[in-house]
Amino acid sequence: MIYVSEDVSAALVTHELAFEAVRQALVAAASDLSGVFPAVLGRSREPTNTFSVKSGWSAELTGVKVGSFWSGNPAIGLPRHNSTIVLLDQHTGRLRAVIEAGKVNAFRTAAADAVATDLLARKNAKVLAIFGAGNQAGYEVAALARVRPIEEVLIVSRPSERRNAFVEEIRQSGLDARIASAEEAVRAADIVVTATPSREPLFDAAWVGPGTHVVSMGSDAPGKHELPADLYPRASLFCDLLSQSIQIGDFQHARNAIDAGTLAVTPIGDVIEGRAPGRGSESEITVFDSSGISLQDLFMADALIRAKGQRN
């Protein structure tokens, strides 16, 4: 049985590794040679301590990821977000590997958005608006700046020390960063990313201009809601996995229209494989619902195991 500790996985993971692993996972998700089971959401005795269990299989991988959010961890010097990936042997069902993947999970989530952005955003996209300044935000900016010539980052977040530190972090990476209102940020942006736990839309659909690419990655549970649903009829819609997106992703708020066929949603894996078109014109608005699927975790775990073997 292979064990990879948090320290080792954090040292191995890169945006390049995550991009390729997640790209393969999204291709698998859009094929008949994979399966993803409904996410299980739970909590501990303390209601603010929550976890999710995501599981699935592909032609080569079977396993589960447990992601947790323990609100009081910073007080004892630990991160709020943690993640553990368990791979099972395809032939026996016994443990193949256990990978602690707290930092890896942030790379994995950002990588999915980067894969979609590379396919859907305009090639000259330079202004990125990001809602939220929490744990995930910095990874999102770094991943998207690898695939588009980002020059300016507009940050929409409540005043806090964390927000101020995030602005400085982005500036130190070589990008211009500043605080902006929701309306200013969305109107100016080529790419909009929402990385929040919001339960109501963060901006007005009318603020989204032609050619904008929009990513929702914070909506990962029933009731979460980041994007205005009246944006969807004006846009081309994409997702990681439709069955999960309409359950816990932002497209849960458009489920009736999607089920009725009024709105069409394309799995991003079909775009990767050339079975479906991506952006059709410079003026088209594109939306990617990034609900975060188990296959991403399984492919990340496999890539880390191979990277660890190459380093040894």
- Catalogue the active-site residues: 65
Alpha helix stretches (DSSP H) within 148-284: 161-172, 182-188, 242-248, 255-259, 268-272
Q: Parallel, antiparallel, or unpaired for β 235-239 and 152-156?
A: unpaired
Q: Give me the residues paired with residue 239 across strands.
A: 267, 289
Q: What's the first-to-final CA gap in the chain, in angstroms?
A: 16
What is the C-alpha separation between 224 and 214, in angstroms, rounded? 16
If you ran DSSP here, which 8-state letter would residue 217 be given?
A: -
Alpha helix stretches (DSSP H) within the chain: 6-12, 15-29, 102-120, 137-147, 161-172, 182-188, 242-248, 255-259, 268-272, 294-311
What is the C-alpha separation between 308 and 312, in angstroms, rounded? 6
Phi/psi of residue 204, each to 5°? -90, 135
User: Can you give the length of the chain in residues?
Assistant: 312
In 3D, which of 108, 57, 105 has the Cα closest to residue 79? Answer: 105
Sign of CA dihedral 226, 232, 235, 240: positive
13, 87, 165, 220 from 27: Cα distances, Å: 21, 19, 36, 20
Yes or no: say if 299 and 25 are a contact pair by the CB < 8 Å rule.
Answer: yes
Q: Give me the residues paired with residue 98 across strands.
A: 3, 86
